[in-house]
Each structure stands twice: as C-alpha cells, then as structure tokens.
Amino acid sequence: MYFLLLQACYNSVVFQITQGTNAGFKNRVTFTMGIMSILKYPDPRLRQKALPVAAVNAKTRSLIEDMFETMWDANGIGLAATQVDVHERVIVMDLEGEQAAPRVYINPEIEILDATCLPYDEGCLSIPDTYETVERPGHVMITALDQDGAEFKEEAKGLLAVCIQHEIDHLEGKLFVDYLSSIKRQRIRKKLKKNRA
C-alpha cells in the first residue's frame, strides 16, 4: 500500500512503543530472498481471510524477508501476506521507504482510541495506479507479535494508524475500494482491465 501524501503528512505520524519491541529487524536480517508476485484486483484470492500464525519460526521469518523485498521492489510502504497469496496474518511496513524503517506485525489486532476519522488518499500495490480518498480512525493501539514471536503494543496516529488498518483489511479479505461507491469500483475494474490488455 502507498499514499499520495505531502511530506507534512509523514511528519504527522506519531507512534510510541509501549511494550516489547518491533525495531532493529533490518539489522538482524539480510534481505536476499526472492521477489514474490503481488495479486492484482479483482483476483478472488484477495478475498480469502488469513489465518493466525500458530508459531513464529524460520518459515515465518523467510516469508517476512520475501515480503520486504517484494514491497521495496514495488515501491510500497506496506504489504499483507494475503497480497502475495499467503493466507497468514503477517504484515510488513516501511513508512519511510528505502529500507529505512522496516516494521513487522504478526497476528495484528487494533483497538480504536479515537474514532475521529481522517481522510487519506489511499493506494494499493494490488490496485496499481489508483488512488481514492478513504476515511479511517486516526488513533489506534496495535497489539501484535514481532519477528521473534514476542508480543508488543504500539500506539499509532496519522499515517501509521491508517496504514495498519488498510493492511489488516487485506487479512480480512477486504480492499480499500470496498469503501467506495459501486460506480467508482466499476470504473477502477474497467481501467485495470484495459491496462492489462
């Protein structure tokens, strides 16, 4: 997922790690794995609900490495395992891009701390070259496991809050276009079909 945002929007992101850790992943992993194929809307596999990761192990970490490489190669800031046809509850993010701040969320859950919705122009690696305004709560608490299987909590505002909700939607088989009118969805499908022709 990626957004058409002014730099000021990036500067508005506030996060605080309140338990455990989700930092330093890049320093402990060499990203030399393969680039995965990203499913494109309206592929029905994007609608499959992801299952919780039962145990974080070497296979999970290998998936995470592949997902990071895939996301960076596609110039995205977030990717859910569902988008690469792996139906497990795994999300990777790098809101700063260029491998600057990799973050991992396994079995993520959110609690809405402030229901006030913020409008963001959202895009998605599964829906190329398409951006539409979606409103989501701008302040949430994330609970998840890190790449070592340790639970952590993270308070998120702004872009981070919006991005985690977008990616969790993928794990639930939902896409940002589902928030749009049926007319807009039809227009997007026609455009993507034309682009693939």
Active centre residues (catalytic): 167
Amino acid at 176: F
Q: Are strands 14-19 and 103-124 parallel, antiparallel or unpaired?
A: unpaired
**Main-chain phi, psi angles of 45, to 5 degrees:** -65, -20
Amino acid at 86: V
Residue with tokens 């500067």: 11
Our measurement of the distance from residue 125's CA atom to the centroid of its chain's CA atoms, rounded to an integer in Å, reads 10
Identify the three-state secondary structure at position 183: helix
**190: its two tokens:** 């026609």
Rounded distance, CA 40 to CA 7, Å? 28
Sheet holding 151-157, edge to edge: 14-19, 151-157, 127-145, 103-124, 90-93, 78-80
CA angle 188, 79, 145 (to 5 degrees): 145
Q: H-helix or E-strand containing 98?
A: none
Identify the three-state secondary structure at position 173: coil
